[in-house]
Amino acid sequence: MKQISVDDIRKDFPVLNQTINGRKLIYLDNAATTQKPNTVIKSIENYYKSFNGNPHRGAHYLSLKSTEIYETGRKKVANFINASSTREVIFTRNATESLNLLAYSYGMNFIEEGDEIVISIMEHHSNLIPWQQVAKSKKAVLKYLYTNEEGIITEEEIKKKITDKTKLVSIAHVSNALGTINPIKFIIDYAHSRDAKVILDAAQSLPHMKVNVKNLDVDFLVFSGHKMLAPLGIGVLYGKENLLEKIPPFLYGGDMIEYVYEDSTTFAELPHKLEAGTQNVAGVLGLTKAIDYLNEIGMDNIEEMESELTSYALEKLDSLSEIELYGFKGISNRGSVISFNVKDVHPHDTASILDAYGVAIRAGHHCAQPLMRYLGINATCRASFYFYNTKEEIDLFIESLKNVRKWLGYES
Amino acid sequence: MNLDSIYTEIITEYSQSKHNERTIDSPTKSLKGHNPSCGDEINLEIKIKDNIIEDAAFTGVGCAISRASTSIMIDLIKGKRIKDALNLVDTFIGMIKREITNDEDLEILEDAMALKNISNLPARVKCAVLAWHTLKQALE
């Protein structure tokens, strides 16, 4: 691993260098959204100062410049995930919109009565509700992959649930609620052996590890820019070209057409067919700069740095008797997410108390109510790390955590 | 933010006290209150006789603030006429929204005044008002 100074990295992130409630901010809510480096922030300012125009539309300098920035971003994303061509990269607002696009354009048109859709119990609501609605409307069957007592989806479970009737499997690469890394290569290969297509929700994996769509042979993949240093409001849908060719447009409007007549329309080629209306060029530029930043550090290094942080935090949390940990206990198959509770304390109280110490974590059901119900809990606290976090921050987080019960009137 | 002004002794004591956490035999009203964003879920039961709240209790899960608020409310409304209970609800919500700030107007809330500072913690306001909104719905 090349020598990387986290102190230097942190200088690039203005948000991290401030005090909250009179204390140094410790930002451990990276699974919700990540902070942005100066290169991303400045690129957006620069875009609106110098290049703002409507892409794909005009013959003038600014419109051409915006088009160039937008399409350069598409190339950058295609390279980052190792897509075969830029025709396979569709820009959306976020992973949620990408999944809804697939549910409406793919699900509603290719799922038929009696077909089976398989998802997992740990899906985020955004990868659950769209399929629930498709199943309802098409009279298809929605099936869940459940975790075993170790918090893992076993090969046995996969073979049991994915059958010849399965048309589609949609699954999170890494669980946003528990941090579990799912056995996606096995799922993809097994689903393909049953002629089912696979959608990978990479919102919690792509920011933290190398994801290669060609090696995975995944059919569709979705992610959000804001969870990987890019601004809010830019997301991606990747799809194999032959599949994207088949699906009808999701939104109709400008820029996605060839010829429009009074009673009929022919649509543009990929990728434009699936991108209606004026697009978020500044968001794409921000995403481009974010990918440059991640590449500069190296995804392998990022994975290693975060794995070290996560195991350090896990060890510390595990040594506190008042902490209960949820989900998979080990470090080997885990992203940089830890779900826990403080004994006798509701997660919202824990989060409010930690906030007073400057520590930002998430509390709640993490948009995964069926998972919480399955685990027999109401809500959890979630600490999630990014490569810019430090062991010192984790120490302060642990020290603050030790005060929580005291604030609620417990003796220790 | 000053945690002392939020997690006061009244709040921590009420949040741990279980004296109102039970079910009622054949309640007049039973209503669920739910904060979908955080997962607080209470079931409020009340028994009404001759327009008077004879008994009230709750079950469910919630944070210290929602539990304390629920229990304080139950202590306060028991034995009150429906009309007066509704007035207490409006006063409480008015206090949290900072529409009623005069301490004299708030005195009728008794221990519930301890929740006044929750208005400094916007993320937790919904925890404090959950039971009160639920009661209002049940009574109306």
CB A325 within 8 A of CB A340: yes
pTM of the complete model: 0.93
Q: Are residues A208 and A350 in the same domain?
A: no
Beta strands in chain B (DSSP E): 29-35, 40-49, 52-61
The pLDDT score that the predictor gives to residue A3 is 72
Flag whether pLDDT at A299 surpasses 80: yes
Residues A142 and A280 in one domain: yes
Residues A217 and A366 in one domain: no
B128: nearest Cα among B13, B11, B5, B3:
B11
The model's pLDDT over B56-68, given as tens digits with 9 standing for 90+, comes to 999 999 999 999 9
Counting the structural domains of chain B, the total is 1
- Write the residue in A369, A378, A408 that is nearest to B64 by C-beta: A408
Nearest Cα of chain A lies from the Cα of B81 at a distance, in angstroms, of 33
- Regarding whether A345 and A200 lie in a shared domain, the answer is no
Chain A contact for B9, CB < 8 A?
Answer: yes
- The arithmetic mean of pLDDT across residues A27-45, rounded, is 98
- Answer for the pair A266, A259: CB distance below 8 angstroms, yes or no: yes
| Most confident by average pLDDT, A96-110, A317-331, A357-371 | A96-110
Is residue A1 in some structural domain? Answer: no
pLDDT-derived band at A291, boundaries 50, 70, 90: very high
**Residue B90: which CATH number?**
3.90.1010.10
Secondary structure (DSSP) of A51-102: I---TTT-SSHHHHHHHHHHHHHHHHHHHHHT-S-GGGEEEESSHHHHHHHI
Residue A165 in contact with residue A115, Cβ under 8 Å?
yes
**Nearest-CA neighbor of A237 among A271, A207, A268?**
A271
CATH number of domain containing A146: 3.40.640.10
Indicate the pLDDT class of residue B1, thresholds 50, 70 and 90: low
Is there a single domain that holds both residue A18 and residue A108? Answer: no
A54: pLDDT strictly greater than 70: yes
Mark whether A21 and A118 lie in a shared domain. no
CA dist A155 and A183 (Å) reads 8
CA A110 to chain centre: 25
Same domain, A394 and A290: no
Burial class (CB in 10 A: 0-12, 13-18, 19+), B28: middle
Task: Give the pairing type, strands A166-172 and A116-120.
Answer: parallel
CATH of the domain at A347: 3.90.1150.10
pLDDT confidence bin for A328, thresholds 50/70/90: confident
Smallest Cα distance from B38 to chain A, Å: 5
Kindly determine whether residue B7 and residue A407, on different chains, have CB atoms separated by under 8 Å.
Answer: yes
Query: Residues A371-409: pLDDT tens digits?
Result: 999 999 989 999 999 999 999 999 999 999 999 999 999
The pLDDT-based confidence of B40 (bands split at 50, 70, 90) is confident
Q: Could you tell me how far CA A27 lies from the centroid of its own chain? A: 18
pLDDT for A336: 96
* Residue A170 forms part of a structural domain: yes
Cα distance between residue A180 and residue A177, in whole Å: 8
Number of domains making up chain A: 2
* Average per-residue pLDDT for chain B: 93
What is the count of residue pairs from A and B with beta carbons less than 8 Å apart? 59
Chain B closest-CA separation from residue A379 CA (Å): 6
Please determine, for residue A1, whether its predicted confidence score (pLDDT) is greater than 60: no
Residue A92, classified by CB atoms within 10 Å of its CB into exposed (0-12), middle (13-18) or buried (19+), is buried
Chain B residue whose CA is closest to A378: B39
- Residue A341 lies in domain: 6-30+298-402
Do A111 and A16 lie in a common domain? no
Residue A2 has a pLDDT of 58
Quick check: A408 and B127 CB within 8 A? no
A157, HSE (Cβ side, Cα atoms, 13 Å):
17
What's at B120, amino acid-wise? N
Give domain status of residue A149, yes or no. Answer: yes
- Residue range(s) defining the domain that contains residue B43: 3-139
What three-state secondary structure class fits A185? helix
The answer, for B41 touching chain A at a CB cutoff of 8 Å, is: yes
Based on the domain organization, do A108 and A158 belong to the same domain? yes
Task: Give catalytic status of residue A381 as yes or no.
Answer: no
Q: Is residue A35 part of a domain?
A: no
A363 and A218: one domain? no
Q: Please check whether residues A63 and A107 belong to one and the same domain.
A: yes
Mean pLDDT, residues A210-235: 98
Q: What is the ipTM of this complex?
A: 0.86
Q: d(Cα A79, Cα A58) in Å, to the nearest integer? A: 28
Q: Which of A367, A369, A370, A374 is catalytic?
A: A367
Residue type, B62: G
pLDDT band at B35 (very low <50, low <70, confident <90, very high): confident
Final residue belonging to a domain, choices A243, A265, A295:
A295
Residues 10-49, chain A, touching B (beta carbon < 8 A): 21
Interface check B65 vs A, CB under 8 A? yes
At residue A297, the pLDDT reads 97
Among A295, A315, A339, give the residue marking a domain's end. A295
Query: What is the pLDDT at residue A10?
Result: 97
How would DSSP label each residue in A113-182? TT-EEEEETT--GGGTHHHHHHHHHHT-EEEEEPP-TTS---HHHHHHH--TTEEEEEEESB-TTT-BBP
Cis preceding linkage at A271, omega within 30: yes
Specify whether A85 is located in the same domain as A166: yes
Look at B3 and A353 and tell me if their CB atoms are within 8 Å.
Answer: yes
Mean pLDDT in residue range A332-344? 93
**Using one digit for the tens of pLDDT, what is the confidence trace for A101-160?**
999 999 999 999 999 999 999 999 999 999 999 999 999 999 999 999 888 999 999 999
What is the pLDDT at residue B88?
97
- Return the residue in B2, B4, B7 with the most chain A beta carbons within 10 A, the one to mutate for interface testing: B7
Contacts of B124 in chain A (CB under 8 A): 348, 352
